[in-house]
Amino acid sequence: MVYKKITVNGLNVFCRECESVDKPYLVLFHGFPSSSHMFRDLMPLLEDKFHCIAMDYPGFGQSESPSRDVFDYTFNHLAEICDAFIEEIHIDKFYMYVFDYGAPIGFRIALKHPEKILGIISQNGNVYEEGLGPKWAVRAEYWKNPTPELRESYKTAFSFDTVYGQYTFGTEEGSVSPDGYSLDMYYASTIDDYAEKQSDLIFDYQNNVKLYPAFQEYLRTYKPKLLAIWGKEDPSFIWAGAEAFKKDLPDARIVPVNSGHFALENCCREIADNIKEFF
């Protein structure tokens, strides 16, 4: 594994990479509130089959976190940076692993460059309204009526209890290491203006839902090989979101694992084995 920063559109972007010789690229797109460190155990398990690379988005992890005055914290903008990162390191074709926020980012890139996508692993990476858990109905009301008070209330998403719950809900007691959520909380406490930047993304998430029909049309048109492997107890992106892929890709493989949202934390080897078997 190597760790480095690459200049992308004038920003210092951190990435981690398993430099497997003569292997196809697998680009891994992380979720909230994490960073590429969520793939720390998965990437070594896949390096015999893939050239794995994962970046931290601007405002996450070890990447530069520009001011909101000069950088728009929207999913369109994060996808533009990720696309430019892929161009900067000259990746022509790749498999992609999408999780949580990584799904609307990765699928935007797939819409723009369908010829580049060799296949997709969606691990709790939702692109269907059926996959939106109950909390999203409440957020939809916020999107319709974005008062300052509601924006402030959603900052509970950055609290320790919420992040801890994202990692541990739906998992067996003692099966999740504290390393992941502890590092996420460290970044949340050290990145300048973190809560406001992340609040911008929570509000912008409505534009991901609006793009779901386009993402689904991409699947029907280009028929990428797809593995949806899902922490089946995830309350944010529920199991129905995994099953929904079958509507547009009848040949997709849909696999549940005994976990919640951050399924890599306790089912990493099982996920790796399924990826290598399917692809």
C-alpha 176/C-alpha 167 separation (Å) is 7
C-alpha 28/C-alpha 41 separation (Å) is 13
- Taking alpha carbons only, the member of 261, 213, 211, 214 closest to residue 236 is 261
Return the structure tokens found at 259.
């976990």
C-alpha 274/C-alpha 272 separation (Å) is 5
- Taking alpha carbons only, the member of 197, 278, 226 closest to residue 33 is 197
The total number of residues written for the chain in this structure: 279
Non-local (6+) Cβ contacts of 256 within 8 A are: 229, 230, 232, 239, 242
Tell me whether residue 51 is one of the annotated catalytic residues: no
CA distances to 142, 201, 202, 275 from 149, rounded to whole Å, are 10, 17, 14, 43
Exposed/middle/buried for residue 18 (C-beta within 10 Å: 0-12, 13-18, 19+):
buried
The packing angle between helices 102-112 and 194-222, to 10°, is 50
The residue assigned the tokens 């696999």 is 255
Give catalytic residues, as residue numbers.
Answer: 261
